[in-house]
């Protein structure tokens, strides 16, 4: 792998992202709008779950950020499918860039987008919605980083599996709501039915929300996010293996955008 070539692809992806910043706005603005509506509704649920001082922001800020972060799966999918729309995929493959440089070049900027989203949404949560992080803020860094990388690799795996942009887009849209609901991002996990709580550990959102709860509500530190980070890391490896096994660079994707 050539770092210089990877740098060229990263700069190029950066230019493409800057040409259309609307998805970044969606990532950042939508959760903030949702927070304004939903904060009060979650206060009672958190109090009932044993957090008498909670004001609702402890659920709605990380929950909406984690749920909307799933949107990055779509962004990764479209980063690949757009190459077919522009007719540039074969050009890129025939260039000296290797497969791993192309995948990293598309993945890393989207990881950065999710990280930026969490920073801005949490800052808005603290300043506007009175979010108090009772535990270690430092503990949130590996948690958010592991979740971001996990979602982006899920996007690569979805790209590998789907032959049309419609398939990939449908999965990404439905997945955002489904993973958000089951994982305890849309509503606190304590209000979910038993069956949902049983399957929740299968989705990445559950683990990031578990980490958020332990740091934000229970006031714990780095030790409390080790398990969520490890599981998110294992899921990332799984998605990477699926992508490696299934992603065929000579496959023609059908893009309808």
Partner 1 sequence: MQDTSRNLRRSVVRSDPAVVLAIRGLHKSYADTVALAGIDLEVSAGTVLGLLGPNGAGKTTLVSIVAGLRRPDAGTVHVGGIDVVRTPQRARGLIGFAPQDTGVYTPLSVRNNLRFFAGLAGMRRAEQAERIDEIANALGLEALLDWRAAELSGGERRRLHTAIALLHRPALVLLDEPTTGADVRTRSQILQLVRRLADEGSAIVYSTHYLHEIEELDAFVTFVDAGRIVATGSTAELVRQYGASALELTFVHDVPAVARIEGAHVDGSMVRIPAADPAITAAEILPRLGTHAADLRSIEVVRPSLESVFLTVTGRRFGAQTLEPVG
Q: Tell me the two tokens of residue 34.
A: 């949702």
Q: Which CB atom, from 94 or from 127, has the smaller least distance to partner 1?
A: 94
91 touches partner 1 (CB under 8 A): yes
88 touches partner 1 (CB under 8 A): yes
Part of the chain binding partner 1 (CB under 8 A), chosen from 15-23, 28-36, 133-141, 204-212? 15-23
Contact with partner 1 (CB under 8 A): which of 22, 96, 127, 193?
Answer: 96
Q: Which CB atom, from 47 or from 97, has the smaller least distance to partner 1?
A: 97
CB of 77 to partner 1, least distance (A): 17
Dihedral sign from CA coordinates of 26, 29, 34, 37: negative
24 touches partner 1 (CB under 8 A): no
108 touches partner 1 (CB under 8 A): no
87 touches partner 1 (CB under 8 A): yes
CB of 110 to partner 1, least distance (A): 17
Distance in angstroms (rounded) separating the CA atoms of residues 103 and 65: 25
Which residues bind to partner 1, rule: CB under 8 A? Answer: 4-5, 8-9, 11-12, 15-16, 19-20, 86-91, 93-98, 250
């Amino acid at each position: 792998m050539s770092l210089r070539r990877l740098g060229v692809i990263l700069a190029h992806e950066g230019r493409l992202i800057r040409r259309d910043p609307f998805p970044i706005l969606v990532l950042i603005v939508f959760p903030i709008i949702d927070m304004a509506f939903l904060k009060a509704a979650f206060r009672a649920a958190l109090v009932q779950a044993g957090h008498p001082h909670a004001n609702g922001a402890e659920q709605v800020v990380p929950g909406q950020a984690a749920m909307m972060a799933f949107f990055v799966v779509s962004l990764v999918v479209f980063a690949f499918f757009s190459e077919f729309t522009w007719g540039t995929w074969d050009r890129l493959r025939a260039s000296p860039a290797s497969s791993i440089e192309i995948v990293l070049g598309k993945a890393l900027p989207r990881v950065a987008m999710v990280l930026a989203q969490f920073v801005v949404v949490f800052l808005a949560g603290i300043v506007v919605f009175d979010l108090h992080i009772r535990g270690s803020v430092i503990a949130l860094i590996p948690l958010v980083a592991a979740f971001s990388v996990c979602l982006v690799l899920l996007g690569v795996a979805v790209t590998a599996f789907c032959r049309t942009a419609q398939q990939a887009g449908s999965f990404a849209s439905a997945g955002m709501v489904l993973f958000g609901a089951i994982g305890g991002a849309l509503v606190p996990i304590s209000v979910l039915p038993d069956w949902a709580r049983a399957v929740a550990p299968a989705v990445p959102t559950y683990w990031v929300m578990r980490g958020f709860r332990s740091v934000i509500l229970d006031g714990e530190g780095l030790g409390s996010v080790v398990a969520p980070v490890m599981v998110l890391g294992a899921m990332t490896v799984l998605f990477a293996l699926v992508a490696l096994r299934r992603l065929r660079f000579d496959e023609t994707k059908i893009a309808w955008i």
